[in-house]
Structure 1
């Protein structure tokens, strides 16, 4: 109730401060995929001067992209996670790159008062870039906070080090700070805050929320920002390593936007040798612009228009009952099911033996149903329907329910689930559904060449993922990727269940 009253109050005050004519129905968004200049392939100790030199080299590139975006009318730009210095660090070697980032409530414009909180040249420069280009700038950097022995969680080096997103408005004012909560398995140089931070800020073109990379796979803060705090747009710096068939950046981040029915501005680092590429500007009804380039070493700027308040748009998707249609279908017992691995999880598969038909495959409480019609099917291409209902335990622990139609790597069934980037078989029609036990399901369609299919499929209110007119390119995978948050084990930093 207190949160609800707070938002009513904030909305009332915003209405008093800003005339209705100042509120904008749409805005221009930008994201930049940055080829980060790194310190090297192994961690090494450097001086503060050397650290600043590297960060400023990366900032030179980011500033050029920000200027270009502003010239194209962008209101806000998101830059990637680790964009200033990369990711090859220990706690000690990262330290020279860190600055003390205050709470935004201090009412600070670093460009105007660069020494107010000590020496913070990176914050000062980011603030000036935003101010000089009259654009909101979202950046990722490192924050340091001293702690003492009275704090039982204080690291042995006497400080917390946080993977941090910062936001500066069009005047260069510092308006938001977020400390990443769900650290990836190799982020030993950073600490997680004691609880997830719910960071939002309001503009004339919508309400924004922040989180970083691996956070998107978990309930907090990601789901809470959308469901409870009702943000319009998620700002998402990331250093995402693509994992086919279900977790490439453009595929999953666009699906998350559709499943959560919110805008997402996803800015990825660009390092094809580490499978890092894929940025996008995503709306609830599909991608507005995206970039996937596994070949070149160049960065890339995306600029596109979005609805400021997508929930008020006539194109906003209707609520979905993800199990409604699937529960009306009675599974028919059959022979020939087999198992295979996708990202170390054991799926139950059934082969699409005919060019058209109906198929069901079940695992645990989940039954997946597929109706389909292929065209131009190649004899050496095998497609399967797969189901997984279980706890994923590789780079993190999170519970999944997944229904997937996918192309196998070869005609050998043992290759089903392995990464595939090209296909030749098209589908004139498909309808995929599942008896999901969760309301959090993310619809993915990925085509040959690791390309999205905006406007070529739809999600019906009864939970069917369908296309009636085929897709523009051959299909790699069609997937309903479900997250059953209530069955996740406790977060390692907090011993409580899902709120």
Structure 2
């Protein structure tokens, strides 16, 4: 059994202790997120929370974020439309509120810091005021609660997209979690599986024009596209937001991963531990995402052993149209249902390389552990423990150094449908994420890749996703898209092995071609060819017989 590792990440040159709070005129604020080991005892958790709030505040944190469902299973009323309207500070009214609200309110007030927690909320519709109650019964919700510096409860958000959680009810109305601070930043916030859906993850940013999002989570990581920090960083990049992600830590079930991310600049600080861990992470966050100055901790990559961290495999991998890569140079196109992917790959393997690699394209519907289904479009390369498709998205039981390959060249040119705004939701119908995964179960640093996007005729986007660091080993690298119009449909069945085509009909070469100048006619012609191919495939889908 591992001992709990209690860390404190403090960089005095960045966030040295003082009583200075961030103000609306400052160009940044100080945030803290907690990676918190799951414990069952509510009193232990409350005492730990109070201590961690103080530790973060001692580093001048303006806001502290805790993970999903790490306080315990206690049922806590959060009467935001009733008692909290008249008595918003539980610390000053301990007789009318649950101990959880009272103690966290007290800690927020004593440390003059905003605090976001997640808990199991109970609402008794036989005895409640100001709430929507479709039935006269007791409801349980997965809920975020926000406290301001005075200890007042200022916002409550109920999870909309439950991941199983069969004893709980999804939010009865799709209300978004939004609150404004005294340092001039308005935050949106949502919970775990919500990240995969248009409402709230896309809507909350685009409808409210927000730049700062809080994410409480108990994520169950899945290779090769949806490990925790991988998708956290990808969301911050794609939505161009500051993203404060606080993750529950329980490596035995695959829960781990937290960080603070700033738009396209990537991780200001992040961690993906392979052992039981509690950790406070603090960073100064620019109010304009991506405009990072100074030195930041960045990814904390000091845990080389992730063998005990359980990772699932994407169940849609057998449904990908894929091709097994070979050592050396290859240049080819794969396509499926309107998605066209060109791969330029120079795969470098050594005598120590254990993994095989596939290039894949997918345009269909996947299941999320049979809890829900969702549309996906992607172009990617991913590691496999063997040559067969059913070995992909998996690791060997024990990590061995240099067991993954490197790439002297890796570029993916993806032709994908342009996202369109759903006016009733004020949110895009598709979102595309640049994903990648290293053996540390962390994504590439922002300076290790380049992504260029061009829109053709307002209907097709051309993505050029290129690896810049040729010395890094990879489990995956690709563009992962969520297509919300296909949510709820039957998952795409696996490709029957006898029908699987391992050869590619177009642009197959085994020798490197001269690299075109980015604005040259060669690049423009290639873009047009890919666009025409994609449009042709789309038209073939929608033209009546």
The TM-score bracket by the shorter chain reads 0.7 to 0.9
**2:327–2:349 CA contact under 8 A, matched in 1:** no
Q: Quick check: 199-208 or 218-227, which moved more?
A: 199-208
Residue in 1 that maps onto 2:347: 374
**1:22-80 deviation per Cα after TM superposition (whole angstroms, max 9, x unaligned):** 42211111111111212xxxxxxxxxxxxxxx322101112222211111121111101
How many residues of Structure 1 are paired with residues of Structure 2 in the alignment? Answer: 413
Residue in 2 that maps onto 1:60: 47
Aligned equivalent of 1:353, options 310, 319, 326: 326
Q: Secondary structure at the match of 1:257?
A: helix
What is the distance in 2 between the residues matched to 1:107 and 1:432?
56
Q: Secondary structure at the match of 1:254?
A: helix
Residue in 2 that maps onto 1:493: none
Residue in 1 that maps onto 2:477: 478
| TM-score, normalised via structure 2 length | 0.71
Aligned equivalent of 1:69, options 50, 56, 70: 56
User: Kindly tell me: are residues 21 and 168 of structure 1, through their superposed partners in 2, closer, same or farther at Cα, counting changes over 3 Å?
Assistant: closer
Residue in 1 that maps onto 2:442: 451
Q: Name structure 1 gaps, 5 residues minimum.
A: 1-19, 39-53, 86-93, 316-340, 491-499
Q: Secondary structure at the match of 2:97?
A: coil
After the TM superposition, which residues 455-466 of structure 1 pair with which residues of structure 2 at under 5 Å, given as runs? 455-462=447-454, 463-466=463-466
Q: Secondary structure at the match of 1:122?
A: helix
Aligned equivalent of 1:289, options 258, 269, 277: 269
**1:363–1:387 CA contact under 8 A, matched in 2:** yes
| TM-score, normalised via structure 1 length | 0.77
Residue in 1 that maps onto 2:25: 23
Aligned equivalent of 2:406, options 426, 429, 435: 426
Q: Secondary structure at the match of 2:231?
A: helix
Shift of 1:179: 0.6
Shift of 1:267: 0.8
Residue in 1 that maps onto 2:117: 139
Residue in 1 that maps onto 2:525: none
Residue in 2 that maps onto 1:121: 99
**1:279–1:290 CA contact under 8 A, matched in 2:** yes
What is the distance in 2 between the residues matched to 1:109 and 1:152?
25
Residue in 2 that maps onto 1:101: 79
Residue in 2 that maps onto 1:154: 135
What is the distance in 2 between the residues matched to 1:416 and 1:145?
44
RMSD: 2.5
What is the distance in 2 between the residues matched to 1:182 and 1:431?
35
Q: Name structure 2 gaps, 5 residues minimum.
A: 1-21, 294-312, 420-430, 455-462, 490-545
Q: Secondary structure at the match of 1:63?
A: helix
Shift of 1:248: 0.8
Q: Secondary structure at the match of 2:222?
A: coil
**1:372–1:429 CA contact under 8 A, matched in 2:** yes
**1:31–1:267 CA contact under 8 A, matched in 2:** yes
**1:360–1:367 CA contact under 8 A, matched in 2:** yes
**1:146-194 deviation per Cα after TM superposition (whole angstroms, max 9, x unaligned):** 2259x99427xx1111111011111212111101111112x01211122
Aligned equivalent of 2:188, options 209, 214, 217: 209
User: Kindly tell me: are residues 219 and 145 of structure 1, through their superposed partners in 2, closer, same or farther at Cα, counting changes over 3 Å?
Assistant: same
**1:437–1:484 CA contact under 8 A, matched in 2:** no
**1:97-149 deviation per Cα after TM superposition (whole angstroms, max 9, x unaligned):** 3224323655611112223xx23221111111111112111000122222259
User: Kindly tell me: are residues 419 and 485 of structure 1, through their superposed partners in 2, closer, same or farther at Cα, counting changes over 3 Å?
Assistant: farther
**1:384–1:406 CA contact under 8 A, matched in 2:** yes
Note if 1:397 corresponds to 2:355.
Answer: no
Residue in 1 that maps onto 2:65: 78
Residue in 2 that maps onto 1:33: 35
Note if 1:177 corresponds to 2:156.
Answer: yes
Q: Secondary structure at the match of 2:475?
A: strand
Q: Secondary structure at the match of 1:470?
A: coil
Shift of 1:310: 2.1
Shift of 1:467: 2.3
Q: Secondary structure at the match of 2:237?
A: helix
**1:428–1:468 CA contact under 8 A, matched in 2:** no
Residue in 2 that maps onto 1:384: 358
**1:254-279 deviation per Cα after TM superposition (whole angstroms, max 9, x unaligned):** 11111111111111111111111111
User: Kindly tell me: are residues 101 and 438 of structure 1, through their superposed partners in 2, closer, same or farther at Cα, counting changes over 3 Å?
Assistant: farther
User: Kindly tell me: are residues 237 and 106 of structure 1, through their superposed partners in 2, closer, same or farther at Cα, counting changes over 3 Å?
Assistant: farther
**2:125–2:138 CA contact under 8 A, matched in 1:** yes
**1:218-269 deviation per Cα after TM superposition (whole angstroms, max 9, x unaligned):** 0111111101101121111111111111111011111111111111111111
